[in-house]
Structure formats: C-alpha cells, structure tokens
Structure 1
Amino acid sequence: MASGGGDGVGELRGIAAPFVAPGPSGVAVRTRLRQLTPGDEKVLRLVGAHLGSLASKDLKARCRDGLEHCGQAWAVRKRELTALSSSRWAGSITKASHDQWALARRGQLAHIHNLEAGIRTIEDRLSLPVGRKGTGKAPGGYRSRREWHAKSRRLRVLQDRLAAARADREAGIVHVVRGGRRLARTRHHLDAAQLTESAWRGRWEAERWFCQADGESGKRHGNETIRVSPEGEVSIKLPVPLAHLANAPQGRYVLASRVVFAHRGTEWADRVAAHRAIAYRIHLDTGRDRWYLTASWQLPPTPTLPSEAALAHGVIGVDMNAGHLAAWHLDPHGNPTGSPRRFFYDLTGTAQHRDAQIRHALTRLMHWAHTCDVRAIAVEDLDLAAEKTREKHGRRTRFRQLISGMPTGKLRARLASMADATGIAVIAVDPAYTSRWGAQHWQKPLTTTTRKTIRHDAAAVAIGRRAQQHPIRRRTTPPPAHRSDAVGHRTVQAGPSVPGREEPRPRIPGPRTRSVGAGRGANAGNQNAQHRPGRSAEHETWQQDSLPLSL
C-alpha cells in the first residue's frame, strides 16, 4: 500500500506547497550504568521510590487545580515539596507534573476529535439506504438491517462518550495514570502477559519512580542535582530524608559506575566542560534488570536551508509503506536517474526492535543520499490519525491494522534528526494523489525488460517532482522515428533556463507524414502542460489524417 493520502476519485482538492522541515530542537543520549554495587542499587531504589511518591502527590494536586492553576499555586506546591526533598528536586517534580497534565490535555482533545469523526461517519452511513454501494470518496450504506441496528446503538455509545469527554475538558479534568494505563490494565491479565504478580509489582513500582533533574547553565557540569563529571563520575544530591546515606560531602552520593556516552560523546563532553545545562534521568529496565542514564539538552535552532539550495543537486523521493521505504533519485530537472531503491524494515516485536529497524533503514537511506551527492530528501507530510478510525474502514480489520502499524510520527522524528546531523534537508510535500498520479504517469514508462517498476516506486517519483515543484505529469514521448521527427522534441522535463521550453516544437523542414506538413497539425501548438489527470496530452494517441480521396 502506498501512503499517498487523498488518492480517492472525485473532485480534486487543493495541494499545499512543499516546505523544508525544521530540524530537531533537542537531543537525548543514553548509556548503561555498569558495575553498580548492591549499595548503589539500594540507594537508587530508595531515591526513586521517595521522589516517586512526591511526584504522585504533586500530580494529583495539579490535576485537582485544573484550569484554575496559576503561578501562585505552583509556588505553594514547590514550597511544600522542598521541605521533603530539595529546591531543585521540587522544581523538577512540579515541572514534570505540569508537562504531564498538558500532555493529557492534548490527548483529550485528540480523543474528542476522533469521536467526532466516528460519529459523523456513522450518521452519514445511517442516513443512506441499506445496501447502497459506496464510492472511492465516501462509504455507502450498511450492508444489512442487522448491521444498521448495531451501528445505531454504537452511535449512542459514542455520543455519550463525546458528551463526557467534552464535559471533562470544559471542567479542566484529565485522567492520568502514573506508570501507564496499559501496565495498570495488565494487572488484570497476568496470564496473557506471562507475568507473575510479583514481577508485575516490580515493574509497576519501577515505572512510578522519579529520578530526573533539569540542568542549569553556569552550574558545575551543568547540573547540581544529578552531576556527571567529564571523567564519567555520577553523583546524586540526596533528598533531605535520605541524607544519612551520603558517601560524599554536601549530602551527595557517588556511584561506583563510570559512564561513557558512545553517541554524541564529544558534544556532551563539550557541554560539561563549559558548564552548560544538561538534564539527566536514571531509570531501571525491569525486563533486562539494567540501570540506564539518559542525558538530554536543547539544540540551538538550525537555520533552515532554502529549498532552491537544497534541490540544486537533485532530490531523493521517498514513499513510506508498511514494510519498506521506496526511494528514487531525481536530477534537478525532475527526471528519474538510475534504479529505484527499497529499504526494508520489520515492524514486529518489541518497541525497541521496531525503533532499531527504522533507524537502520534510515541510515541506509542517508548513506545512499551521500553516494548520489544529494542534499535533499522529499517525504510526504502524512497524518494518518484520521485514517485509523474504526468507523471509516468498518470490517477491513487487516487494513486498519496495516495503517496503524505505519510509524509515521516516529519516522518523521527520526528522519529529521538524522538528516540534520548529516547535513541533508528534509522537504515535506502534500500527500494528495501521489500514488495515483505516480502510477498513472510513471509506472509504465519506467518499466523495462530488466526492471519492473511497482506503484510505490512511481509514487516516490511523484513525491520528488512535487518537492521540486514540477508537475507530476510526464510529457508524452514523440511517435516512432519512421512516423515523425526523431530529434528536436523535448520529453519528460526541461530545465527552467532552456529557451522556449513551453513553446510548440520547432518546425522541421520536410513532410512529417504523407498528408500533413511539419508544424501544421491541428494540435501542433497544444502542449497541454497541466499536471491534472485526464488531459489530452496524457492519454490521447498520435493519429494521422486519412489520405484525401481526391488524390
């Protein structure tokens, strides 16, 4: 399945202009805390559990305030937490609570939009006669009275849910589960999750721990709470109730582990040496029984490269699909060069495995871009949230699962980050009709006896041409040499600086056919440069006038 959104038939919608996607605003690197002593693990567990209980109480207070929250209430909460931890720990906890509340509000709004879309779809289908066929633009009526009755009941359920969600939003009520709602529900299905009660309890407690601290510019090594020296020494400022566990001056505890950041280690070391802000988080992976340290910091805004400069050496159009990336290299004039490439990835297994598969596919894509000396990659600006609804696709369960499995958000984030680090610009284009027009205009012409071009490859060409702001339509190849001119007629795409590129082809001396002179045909001056489907220049064949009977 090609991912070109809006490929349905019917009235064509407007197409947004392509734009250069901004780079990442921050970076996070992770390393393992090795060779921890039993005393180190005990201290980390006590600190995480103590701060986690404070974070739970603070999040409850933040949710209770709702829309009435203000700076004064924030200061009161922070002052109460300071007596039980420290001023910096309290600041990190209150900031995390505020961010989690804001994230829940955004999720609540997305849930309301999803319910509204489902209700609209059901109401439209219920208004149609039972058994009416659908079109490519809209679904038809339900297939039986039984299904119509079931959907009418579901409509009432969705309307009740929508009313409750709207009431919660107006009142500022959000529903948040520290540790994750999915893990909380797993408690009732331990056999299906292949977990014992004690194993689930350990995972649940570890997810609810809190051991993260925001950085401060100008402070020693960029963080006063969780400090990592240039030599890799990790120390933690203990909360007030646990100060008796300190093994270093000023109530600090130094871990026996020494850390090294393999990825972006030089950048991290430069920030530590300059005492620039770095945020740290310590967490336990209960599945592997390993402790990890994550360092994160903000990046200065990267100047956006003008699209003209990014496209000076051509572009690589990329069509994202459920199991692979289809890519094709286009020259500056929009002509496909070489052969298409496909970068496969496996989306089964754990989240870490899927993320690694995406990174590996994007890494190979970046290497190929450098091999082609290309400084721009064109992708579709996809948002499949509305395409995943149960009401839109009905019984097409496998199709819904296929769309839901496409990691559009994660791929966009990974691609923007990796491309920014390698000096490649990412150009986002409107996904409308890319699959349909690509297959219509490019799939057959690019198929040879030694290469079979699939629909995804043709969509990649359409995406690349749209990024270059060329029409997707491919100009028709002239007739064979024995019926018309063999040279002098442009095909595919001419550069913008070529004189007369949009004019009729030049007149060639001598007869073109046995009946019509060169440059005198009925359609000699009609190049029909529009790129919408259904145009005469795209579909009509070359015809000859019949010989006059008088000859």
Structure 2
Amino acid sequence: MGGLREVAAPFVAPGPTGVAIRGSLKGLTGQDEEVLRLVGGLLGSLASRDLKARCAAGLDHDSDQWAQRKRALTGGSSSRWAGSITKTTNDQWALARRGQLAHIQSLQTSIEMIARRVSLPIGAKGSKGAPGGYRSRQEWFAKSRRLHLLEDRLDRERADREAGRVRVVRGGKKLLRNRHNLQAAQLTEAQWREQWEAQRWFLQADGESGKRYGNETIRVTPDGEVSIRLPAPLAALANAPHGRYVLACRVRFRHRGEQWGDRIAANRAVAYRIHYHLGRGRWYLTASWQIPPVRTVPLEAARAGGLIGVDMNADHLAAWRLDAHGNPVGEPHRFDYDLSGSAPHRDAQVRHALIRLLHWAQRHSVAIAIEDLDFQAEKSREKHGRRKRFRRLISGMPVSRLRGRLVSMAAELGITVMAVDPAYTSRWGAQHWQKPLTTKTRKTTRHDAAAVAIGRRALGCPIRRRTQPPPQHRSDAAGHRSVQAASGVLGREETRPRIPGPRTRSAGAGCGAKAGDQCAHNRSGHTAEHEFCHQDSLPLSL
C-alpha cells in the first residue's frame, strides 16, 4: 500500500464565465450571400497575413508590435475589424503554444515508457500498474527504433518552443491533409476548395460596451435586423448610410433571447460571429458575451443535504444518491447516451443525459459530485500497448465536454457541482460497496459502486464501508468489531492489513506480555512445583 498516491481534496467546481447562443439567418438573398462571401474572403486574407506576422515575431512580440500590426490592417478594413483580427490571431498563437506544450509532455511520457520496457529482459513480467518487457525480439527492435524517432521529434519540439515557433493552419490541419486524400475523404477538388475557403473566412467582431446595441461592426437590433460595417475596399456595396450593409433577413434567438435583448437594450457588449455551414447550406449568427462568475457555495454547505455521486463511463452515467452521512439512499440511476454517429448527434445525446441527471438532482435539492478526470496521459499507445480497444474507449469518452456542459447547465438551475480526485474510486468502490449493496432484486454494478465511492469522497467520508455493530450491546460477543478510522489517519481508505492474533480484545493464553516467561505460569510439570518449599512455624505468641 506504500505505492498509492496522495488523494487530493474535493472542491466546488467554478461556474461558467461566458454565454454563446446561435440563430439561423433564413431568407438571405443572392446579393446578401455574395456580400458575406466577399467580406469574409477579404478579412480572411488579412487574418492570414496577420497570423504570419505574429508567428514570425515569436517570443519577441510586445504591445508595440501589436499596435503596428493593427495599423497595418486598418487601411484595408477598419480599426474595429483590425482589432478583432489581431485579438483572434493572438488567441490562435497562444492556443498553439499550449498545444505544443501538451505534445511535448505526451512525447516525454511515451519515451519514458518505451525506455523502461526496452531496459527489461524480453518476456519479463510486469508489475501491477507497470507493463513488463516486450514479448519478442522483433517487437523489442521495432520499439527501440521508435524510441530514437520520438527522441528526435522531442528535440525538434523543444527547440521550436525555446525559439517561440508555432505551426498554425487557418482552416484546420485535418482539412488541409484531406487535399492529398480526396478519395478517402469522399470529396472532389471543387468541394474541398469550397470547404477550405469557407473555413478561412473571417466574419466576427468583438463587442463594445456603451456603443449602440453593444457592437458597432456587426449590429443586431432588438427586432432582429442584422447590419455589417463594410471594410473600406468594399464600401461601394453598402445599401445603408455610413458604409453599412443591411441583410434582408431577420435573426431570432430562441435560447436566452430575453437575456440577449436585455443586454443590447442597455448597450452592453455583445460579440458576433457569422459562419457558413456547408453541409446544410445555411448561414448562422452566433452571439456571445461574458457573465460574472457564479458565486460558489462553501464546501460544507454543499454537503449539508447530501449529494449524488456520478461515475462517467463511455456509454452511460452511473449515479447514486447519498445522504449527508455517506449512506446510499434509494436505487441507483443510469443515464445512457450513444456516442456513435455525427458530432451533433453525440452532442445531443450528452445534453439529454445531463438534463435528466440535473432534473433528478433538482427534485431532491442536492449537489452533484463528479470525478476530476483527465485522460491526456492515459491516451498514449505506449502505456497500454496492444490494448487497442481500451485505448479507443478512453479516447472516445467526452470527458471535458461532458464536464463543461454539466457545470454550465447546473449553474442555470442553481445546482452545485463538486469535483473529486478519481484515484482508486472504481477499485475501492467495487471492493467495499458492490457486494453489500447487491440484493436478490438489485444487481449492483461496478459503476454503481464507483458512484457511491465518488459521493463518499466528496462528503469527506472514507470510501471503506463501516462494519455493522454487533447485536449484543455493542460488545464482542458476536465477533471482533472494527471501528471507523479518524479523518486525520493516513491511508484510512485503504484495505486494513490483517493483524495476526486473537479476534477479541482480551488476550488469550500465550499471547500476553509474559508469554515467554514460563515461571509466571502455574503449569503441570514445571520445575517450580518440584523445588523445596519451607514454611516457618506459627509464632508462640499466638
């Protein structure tokens, strides 16, 4: 048990800090679509040029260079369009830097795993949690070559990071690679070109607080009228005063429409983005704004009324309600979802499962406890080797998306979400709770037991199940009684080692402190019985 890692303390997950809603631009004329394509193409070319300049600056970029880039773009568009382009470029560069660091960490993990297995003899058995040597000489040779390949790749990535070089593809690297595999992607060259150009368009504007309707570049009125401030080279296409183009359609936000209306009525900042969906052949408008962070409740207040422990799996959510003392209440619940098919289908399945979970928590007015999962280190193929099905299972779990959606949806309903360390929850839950919770009419799964373990850890209770007190006045007449470990005891959630000896508190014969002193016992045949014993006579005075 000495190899177990320390379990982090549970915490209340912070709420969302932004909101995004989307509406469809129905009823656009041919002229409207042509103007949107021209504006998107022009601003997209400026964004590509600015991204090239930002990547060339590297780590030496400062506020003066940012202002210089913005001035270079203003002449071909406007100051507000240039501000949106430069801000988006900086965000893309920062995202590429974070992805570069994650890639370096992944390479380091793979190199360490291969180096360890290569150093072991061929066919050596692995220990618990660590694989052994490779099975054959051929596999060992192939992995040793891969080790050198990954080391060279790691050196290049480290050199790029130290120099501040990043590689960003506007439009997406996946779509770029499809150009060389059109047959596998089931695309013609014309279809690919249309997708490539649409993905590289730029039609988004940052909001400005205090300006009319919260945005001067892309303006949406309360009745849904959309107008765009055209860049300087396209000012001749304006159909409204001050170089603006008004679209013929009206947009309507069905979700959070009242909140959006209140913001633009108060002239608060709202950012907009216009994009084209090729599969549907339809234009969309996305509105987004920042919201103040949701005020989190104290941890003790979230635990007061009990909670629902949730175990996230590849195809369902296993949940069980616990009271404030950590005891399971009622029956376990299972919320299924299907992650096969298209991305919108998967997203809808996740939302449907979460809303059913939240409605259940809302009925009982309790918090929700989830695992703070991160499978980035677990997705390495070098760690799990030939277990392709298991690697595919981990990669397919929407951990970050499910957790983010749960936190944002729970904040709207006023439900607190707590995050706990996922260490050993499945193992200890199955060890301590699966069998006791199984009855003739209820078959408790390993995932249900893990949900109980997650809930108990969020409540501050040890996962290990407390044994039932004996019936005879809490004595040892019915057998040895184990007690609950205190909260400050290290390893209190671990399995207690069996201590040899009697099962009662009273020490039996031969088990005391003087078990080895034979002179302290009255035994038949002991030398003390054969020694001469002299007794003085009674005194005469008596």
Q: CA separation in 1, counterparts of 2:344 and 2:111?
A: 35
Q: Residue 25 of structure 1 aligns with which residue?
A: 17
**CA separation of 1:74 and 1:290: change in aligned 2, threshold 3 A:** same
The 8 Å contact of residues 467 and 483 in structure 2, kept in 1 or not, is answered as no
Q: Residue 292 of structure 1 aligns with which residue?
A: 284
Q: Residue 79 of structure 1 aligns with which residue?
A: 71
Residue 106 of structure 2 aligns to a residue whose secondary structure is helix
Q: Which amino acid aligns with 1:73?
A: Q
Are 1:385 and 2:381 an aligned pair? no
TM-score normalized by the length of structure 1: 0.88
Q: Residue 409 of structure 1 aligns with which residue?
A: 400
Q: Residue 491 of structure 1 aligns with which residue?
A: none
**CA separation of 1:473 and 1:538: change in aligned 2, threshold 3 A:** farther
Q: Residue 517 of structure 2 aligns with which residue?
A: none
- List structure 1 runs of 4+ shifted beyond 4 angstroms: 523-530, 536-545
Instruction: Select 1:532's aligned residue among 493, 503, 506.
Output: 493
Q: CA separation in 1, counterparts of 2:102 and 2:394?
A: 18
Q: Residue 398 of structure 1 aligns with which residue?
A: 389
Q: CA separation in 1, counterparts of 2:207 and 2:310?
A: 38
The 8 Å contact of residues 434 and 449 in structure 2, kept in 1 or not, is answered as yes
Instruction: Select 2:203's aligned residue among 196, 199, 211.
Output: 211
**CA separation of 1:382 and 1:189: change in aligned 2, threshold 3 A:** same
**CA separation of 1:540 and 1:362: change in aligned 2, threshold 3 A:** farther
Q: Residue 269 of structure 2 aligns with which residue?
A: 277
TM alignment of 1:43-62, pairs within 5 A: 43-62=35-54
Q: CA separation in 1, counterparts of 2:80 and 2:98?
A: 27
Are 1:433 and 2:394 an aligned pair? no
**CA separation of 1:215 and 1:19: change in aligned 2, threshold 3 A:** same
Are 1:477 and 2:468 an aligned pair? yes
**For each residue in 1:200-255, what CA deviation from the matched residue of structure 2 results, as whole angstroms up to 9, or x when unmatched?**
11111000000000000000000000000111110000000111111111000011
**CA separation of 1:10 and 1:544: change in aligned 2, threshold 3 A:** closer
Q: CA separation in 2, counterparts of 1:51 and 1:527?
A: 66
TM alignment of 1:163-242, pairs within 5 A: 163-242=155-234
Q: CA separation in 1, counterparts of 2:277 and 2:301?
A: 45
Q: Which amino acid aligns with 1:464?
A: G
Q: CA separation in 2, counterparts of 1:538 and 1:263?
A: 62
CA positional deviation for 1:327: 0.4
Instruction: Select 1:136's aligned residue among 119, 123, 128.
Output: 128
Q: CA separation in 2, counterparts of 1:175 and 1:371?
A: 49
Are 1:420 and 2:411 an aligned pair? yes
The 8 Å contact of residues 469 and 481 in structure 2, kept in 1 or not, is answered as no
CA positional deviation for 1:301: 1.7
Are 1:332 and 2:293 an aligned pair? no
Are 1:350 and 2:350 an aligned pair? no
Q: CA separation in 2, counterparts of 1:357 and 1:325?
A: 12
Are 1:443 and 2:434 an aligned pair? yes
CA positional deviation for 1:373: 2.3
Residue 309 of structure 2 aligns to a residue whose secondary structure is strand
The 8 Å contact of residues 118 and 389 in structure 1, kept in 2 or not, is answered as yes
Q: CA separation in 1, counterparts of 2:484 and 2:369?
A: 28
The 8 Å contact of residues 112 and 166 in structure 1, kept in 2 or not, is answered as yes
CA positional deviation for 1:478: 4.1
CA positional deviation for 1:410: 0.7
Q: CA separation in 2, counterparts of 1:526 and 1:461?
A: 20
The 8 Å contact of residues 473 and 538 in structure 1, kept in 2 or not, is answered as no
Q: Which amino acid aligns with 1:390?
A: R
**CA separation of 1:365 and 1:540: change in aligned 2, threshold 3 A:** farther
**For each residue in 1:275-322, what CA deviation from the matched residue of structure 2 results, as whole angstroms up to 9, or x when unmatched?**
000000000001111100000000112211111112221100000001
Q: Which amino acid aligns with 2:262?
A: D
**CA separation of 1:538 and 1:21: change in aligned 2, threshold 3 A:** farther
Q: Which amino acid aligns with 1:532?
A: E
Q: CA separation in 2, counterparts of 1:368 and 1:538?
A: 44
Q: Which amino acid aligns with 1:535?
A: R
Residue 388 of structure 1 aligns to a residue whose secondary structure is coil
Q: CA separation in 2, counterparts of 1:97 and 1:373?
A: 44
Residue 382 of structure 1 aligns to a residue whose secondary structure is coil
Q: Which amino acid aligns with 2:125?
A: K
Q: Which amino acid aligns with 2:174?
A: R
**CA separation of 1:83 and 1:526: change in aligned 2, threshold 3 A:** closer
The 8 Å contact of residues 467 and 481 in structure 2, kept in 1 or not, is answered as no
Q: CA separation in 2, counterparts of 1:423 and 1:532?
A: 32
TM-score normalized by the length of structure 2: 0.90
Give the paired residue count.
505
CA positional deviation for 1:532: 2.9
Q: Residue 495 of structure 1 aligns with which residue?
A: none
Q: CA separation in 1, counterparts of 2:453 and 2:500?
A: 18
Q: CA separation in 1, counterparts of 2:121 and 2:481?
A: 51
CA positional deviation for 1:534: 2.5
Residue 378 of structure 2 aligns to a residue whose secondary structure is helix
Residue 386 of structure 1 aligns to a residue whose secondary structure is coil
**CA separation of 1:526 and 1:282: change in aligned 2, threshold 3 A:** closer
Q: CA separation in 2, counterparts of 1:182 and 1:536?
A: 53
The 8 Å contact of residues 62 and 69 in structure 1, kept in 2 or not, is answered as yes
Q: CA separation in 2, counterparts of 1:528 and 1:304?
A: 30
Q: Residue 35 of structure 1 aligns with which residue?
A: 27
Over the matched positions of the two proteins, sequence identity in percent amounts to 68
Are 1:115 and 2:107 an aligned pair? yes
**CA separation of 1:185 and 1:263: change in aligned 2, threshold 3 A:** same
CA positional deviation for 1:76: 1.0
* Stretch deviating more after TM superposition (261-270 or 217-226): 261-270
Q: CA separation in 2, counterparts of 1:257 and 1:135?
A: 66
Q: CA separation in 2, counterparts of 1:367 and 1:379?
A: 16
Q: CA separation in 2, counterparts of 1:239 and 1:416?
A: 39
Instruction: Select 2:353's aligned residue among 357, 361, 383.
Output: 361
CA positional deviation for 1:544: 12
CA positional deviation for 1:190: 1.4
Q: CA separation in 1, counterparts of 2:503 and 2:439?
A: 22
CA positional deviation for 1:425: 0.9
Instruction: Select 1:455's aligned residue among 446, 457, 463.
Output: 446
RMSD between superposed Cα atoms in Å:
2.2
Q: CA separation in 1, counterparts of 2:469 and 2:326?
A: 19
The 8 Å contact of residues 438 and 472 in structure 1, kept in 2 or not, is answered as yes
**CA separation of 1:219 and 1:538: change in aligned 2, threshold 3 A:** farther
CA positional deviation for 1:537: 8.9
The 8 Å contact of residues 10 and 137 in structure 1, kept in 2 or not, is answered as no
Q: CA separation in 1, counterparts of 2:236 and 2:450?
A: 65
CA positional deviation for 1:372: 2.1
CA positional deviation for 1:30: 0.6
**For each residue in 1:321-377, what CA deviation from the matched residue of structure 2 results, as whole angstroms up to 9, or x when unmatched?**
011110000011111001111111111122222111111111111011112221x11
Q: CA separation in 2, counterparts of 1:473 and 1:526?
A: 11
Instruction: Select 1:98's aligned residue among 84, 90, 103.
Output: 90
